[in-house]
Amino acid sequence: MNYELRTKNCKAKGFTLIEFLVVLGILALTVSSTLLFLTSVLRGSNKANVIAEVKQNGQVVLESLERQIRNGVDAEQVGQVENNTIKIIRQDQSPLYIKCISNASLNGYIGSVTSSSDPTGDGQYISMTFKDDLVSGVDIDCPDNTDIATGCAVSVIPSSSGGISPPVVSICFYANQAVQAPSRQDFQTKVKFQTTISLRRY
């Protein structure tokens, strides 16, 4: 009699298999939900950091272009590819050439070179990109067809008849993560930069 009572008391103090499985399921659900939340937060943070970095690098390129172009006295479109290369004529200095340059295995970039004659190759152009590292740098989207919807374009709007108003340079480009950046979605971004610059002519 006493033995049976003790056995019943021992059984009453334990957990059944079903109770254990229910607790285990709730715990697993809680842990997985927490991990999903933390992963989402980290991805959002990565994306925000990548966008901020690309914007910063693209803005550096844009400001450098504005500074160099605005001091020109005249501008003209050059080269055989439309909206690809412009020539800035400067007072008492050799002309400045600016070109959208693409490369299948390297970051695309906007390059500039000071030359008294038309540059003969892309190798003469110096990148205006702040960071051109293949992993952590920035890629300026410059496809060969210079599609304004997806790539880089520099063009000149000529001065009005009589030369009353100066020429205007139009610039549009997309800045992306570097070509060898991680392929995860939270490391990918594309930011558009567009502006028009009126030459000062003095």
Q: How far is CA 156 from the centre of its chain?
A: 25
HSE-CB of 95 using CA atoms within 13 angstroms: 16
Q: What is the pLDDT of residue 4?
A: 54
Residue with tokens 């590292």: 133
The answer to whether residues 83 and 75 touch, using CB atoms and an 8 Å cutoff, is: no
Beta carbons within 8 Å of 20's beta carbon, 6+ residues apart: none
Give pLDDT tens digits for 33-51.
999 888 888 877 877 888 8
Q: Average per-residue pLDDT in the chain?
A: 79
In angstroms, the CA 23 to CA 32 distance is 14
Give pLDDT tens digits for 92-116.
889 999 988 877 678 888 888 998 8
User: What type of residue sits at position 135?
Assistant: V
Where does the pLDDT of residue 130 fall: very low under 50, low under 70, confident under 90, or very high at 90 and above? low
Q: Supply the pTM of this predicted model.
A: 0.70
- Name 198's bridge partners: 168
In angstroms, the CA 202 to CA 124 distance is 28
Q: What is the pLDDT of residue 81?
A: 62
In angstroms, the CA 29 to CA 37 distance is 12
Mean pLDDT lowest among 18-32, 47-61, 134-148: 134-148
Region of 181 (left: φ > 0; alpha: ψ -120 to 50; beta: rest) is: beta
Segments making up each domain of the chain, as ranges: 26-198
Q: What is the pLDDT of residue 28?
A: 93
Instruction: List the one residue out of 39, 55, 59, 38 whose CA is nearest residue 185.
Output: 39
% pLDDT > 90, the chain: 6
Give pLDDT tens digits for 136-149.
677 887 655 444 55
